[in-house]
């Protein structure tokens, strides 16, 4: 793994942790706006925290990286879908778009293609 990929892993993990722990009130509002249930919100949150943890663990155990990176990218594509669905401003799209790009970069780097 390149140093850039490791930095990307840390950025993704810290971003997910920050949003799902310290900005949880915002998450609650967004999921209500999207018409998604509390159970869905909890499952998505737990999944993102687990995937973030695996991305950090992947710094020492690179075999853990590819699947969590691809699953995180899928969740970010889903976030983009819901931002489009409720016609959010582009400002609301940017964070999940950046995390999507970073997740794809991490997956690509884990395949040693970078």
Query: 91-103: per-residue pLDDT in tens?
Result: 989 999 999 999 9
- Looking at residue 11, its pLDDT comes to 98
Please say whether the beta carbons of 11 and 102 come within 8 A: yes
For residues 61 and 110, what is the distance between their CA atoms, to the nearest angstrom?
11
Helix (H, G, I), strand (E, B) or coil at 38: helix
| pLDDT tier for residue 63 given thresholds of 50, 70 and 90 | very high
> Which residue bears the tokens 């140093």?
3
**Cβ-proximal residues to 100 (8 Å cutoff; 6+ apart), any chain:** 73, 76, 77, 79, 80
DSSP state of 65: S
For residues 105 and 114, what is the distance between their CA atoms, to the nearest angstrom?
9
For residues 107 and 99, what is the distance between their CA atoms, to the nearest angstrom?
12
The stretch 30-53 carries a mean pLDDT of 97
Using the predicted structure, report yes or no on whether residue 114 has a pLDDT greater than 80: no
**Number of domains, the chain:** 1
pLDDT in tens, 68-93: 999 999 999 999 999 999 999 999 89
| pLDDT tier for residue 42 given thresholds of 50, 70 and 90 | very high
Q: For residue 45, give its domain range.
A: 3-110
Please state the pTM of the whole predicted model. Answer: 0.93
- Looking at residue 113, its pLDDT comes to 80
């Amino acid at each position: 793994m390149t140093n850039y990929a490791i930095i990307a892993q840390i950025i993704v993990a810290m971003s997910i942790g920050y949003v799902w722990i310290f900005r949880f009130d915002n998450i609650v509002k967004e999921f209500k706006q999207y018409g998604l249930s509390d159970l869905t919100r909890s499952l998505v949150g737990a999944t993102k925290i687990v995937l973030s943890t695996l991305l950090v663990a992947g710094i020492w155990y690179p075999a853990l990286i590819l699947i969590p990176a691809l699953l995180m990218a899928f969740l970010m594509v889903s976030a983009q879908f819901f931002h489009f669905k409720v016609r959010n401003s582009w400002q609301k799209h940017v964070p999940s778009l950046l995390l999507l790009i970073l997740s794809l970069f991490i997956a690509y780097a884990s395949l040693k293609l970078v």
